[in-house]
Amino acid sequence: MIFNLPNTLTIIRLIAAPVVPLVFLFVTRPYADWIALVLFAGASATDWFDGYLARRWQQMTKIGTMLDPIADKAMVVSALVALAALFGITFWILVPAAVILFRETFVSGLREYLGDTAGTLKVTKLAKWKTTVQMVAISVLFANGIFEHEVGMSSFGMDGETFYGIVSGEMEDMLGLRWKYAGFLWSYNIGIVLLWLAALLTLVTGWDYFRKATPHLKD
């Protein structure tokens, strides 16, 4: 039962977590961006499948229940580290990333302290939405790196006047620069908005867990 399909998917997701940031050390871009996007999006998809299959096939195990949230947190934390390195010191990335990392650390520590009592802190639907929004936001921001490369390749050697003439529609677009630049802008803006939304949901769910745990923390 330990190596049933749901648990195997969870283990694969756990192994994939550190690979996402490390791929940028050993593979050149944009191939690294593609690999990171496929790995992260694919691993995120298994988060739904492993739970669904475990319930449908009645293969829920203690090790699977324990590893599933760990794999989720490992994927998100590893991906945020990669994004922070890719985008540099920027307010729009670091602030929501710091909020998410703080919450995940705080809740994990809270569960560890509560021990057996932590079972009373059930995962809420809002917490599941929080995880989903986090994973979508990170996937979109990884895609932004791919669009950035395509824009750079299509505009290589092009002066600023020509570039803005093409993307504004005033000049003929022979290389698809206009849609690549639109993809670059939209993926960044949507990714940032979703990341901040994820940070907000992270704060709300973190406070909810703390509120529920408060009766168990009183001397």
For 68-92, how does the pLDDT look when each residue is reduced to its tens digit (9 = 90+)?
Answer: 778 888 899 999 999 999 998 899 9
Query: Which has the closest alpha carbon to 42: 60, 17, 67?
Result: 17
Long-range contacts of 54-58 (CB under 8 A, 24+ apart): 54/4, 54/6, 54/7, 57/4, 57/5, 57/6
Q: What digits encode the pLDDT tens for the residues 5-64?
A: 777 888 888 888 999 999 999 999 889 999 999 999 998 888 777 766 767 767 667 776
SS3 96: helix
pLDDT exceeds cutoff 80 at 3: no
Residue-range definition of the domain harbouring residue 141:
5-217
**Cβ contacts of residue 80 below 8 Å, gap of 6+?**
97, 100, 101, 138
Q: Using the structure block, give the residue that is written with the tokens 């949507």.
A: 190
- CATH classification at residue 90: 1.20.120
How many domains does the chain fold into? 1
| The overall pTM is greater than 0.85 | yes
pLDDT exceeds cutoff 80 at 147: yes
39-53, 175-189, 191-205: range with lowest mean pLDDT = 39-53
- Contact, 180 vs 151, CB < 8 A? yes
Query: Which has the closest alpha carbon to 99: 194, 193, 198, 17?
Result: 198
Q: What is the pLDDT of residue 55?
A: 72
pLDDT exceeds cutoff 80 at 122: no
pLDDT exceeds cutoff 70 at 164: yes
- Determine how many CB atoms are found less than 10 A away from the CB of residue 176: 13
